Amino acid sequence: PREWDHLPGDLGAGGVALLTGSQDTVRRCDLEVGAEHATMEGHSGRIACLAVWERECVLFTGSQDSTARRWDFKKGAEQVTMEGHANGITCLAISERGGSPCSRARR
């Protein structure tokens, strides 16, 4: 599964992280040490999908609140909120070449 990634740099002591999305929160845990390193909050609805742009250590989340968000997951900080869907976002994809996200919402 995509949520088990060997992530670059100092994302965790061993560089192996697990990203999980729940009701309205994303957590980044270091699997080597078994510790949570970041909690990212901001969505007002259930998080339905996650996508990682490994090269830049960026996480995108899509939510039932009809927004997608871009996060710096080293710092656990939100960078951008993207709005425009009329319904909740159900899937995300990222161009590895340029990091541009693509999202789809329910009809």
Instruction: Please tell me the pTM assigned to this model.
Output: 0.76
CB atoms within 10 A of CB 77: 11
- Residue 10: what pLDDT? 45
Encode pLDDT of 26-62 as tens digits.
Answer: 888 877 777 887 888 989 999 988 888 877 888 889 8
> What band does 79 get if pLDDT is binned at 50, 70 and 90?
very high
